[in-house]
Amino acid sequence: MHEPLRTSAVLNVGPAGLPDGREVEAVARGEDLWGTPGLILDDRVVSVADSRGDMVIGLEQGSPLYRKLGLASVGHGLLGCEQVTDSIITVRVRWLFHDADGRQLTDGTNIYILRRDDDGLHAYVCIATDDAEKIQAIAAVRGVDLNQPS
């Protein structure tokens, strides 16, 4: 599955293959994937978005850098999921980032914590495991200075 790399795609592309096929398909299509507040955590940074508007603003801030690096589309694949409680599931997703010609530039793995609410599954936590290293590697290959404003 490839979708254009835009704020809505990054915000909405969700894990596939979770229990309950109809609900999973809705999540994979991006129907209200994120719950609020949403938290993104990596080895250096913690970001919290208290609303969908905050999420969009945060993601839009990264868009110029993605364009500069030549990232044009994103695909994903499910690496695994685990039922933690009756309502909580952890999901490991491998993201595949492609250039405008469809060549894979890099990949990245994130772990999501989802909760089954009254209106379906929602992601509340994203643990980014290797994003920073992968972005630095692409920047080095493409000659992009990450210290320069996008």
Q: Is the pTM of this model over 0.85?
A: no
Q: Check if the beta carbon of residue 10 is closer than 8 Å to that of residue 95.
A: no
Q: Looking at residues 114-125, what average pLDDT do you find?
A: 90
Q: Looking at residues 107-134, what average pLDDT do you find?
A: 91
Q: Looking at residues 33-51, what average pLDDT do you find?
A: 88
- Listed in sequence order, the residues at least 6 apart from 2 whose beta carbon sits closer than 8 Å to its beta carbon are 73, 74, 75, 98, 102
Token duo for residue 24: 């999973």
User: Who has greater pLDDT, 63 or 140?
Assistant: 140
b/e sequence 129-140, b meaning 16+ C-beta within 10 Å: bebeebbeebbe
Q: What is the pLDDT of residue 31?
A: 53
Residues 45-96 pLDDT 10s: 898 989 878 877 777 777 788 888 888 888 888 888 899 998 999 999 888 8
User: Of 24-38, 45-59, 129-143, which range is least confident?
Assistant: 24-38
- CA atoms in the 13 A half-sphere facing the CB of 114: 29
- The full set of domains in the chain, from first to last, is 3-141 (3.10.450.50)
How far apart (Å, rounded) are the C-alpha atoms in residues 118 and 129?
Answer: 29
Count of CB atoms within 10 A of residue 148's CB?
7
Q: What is the 8-class DSSP label of residue 150?
A: -
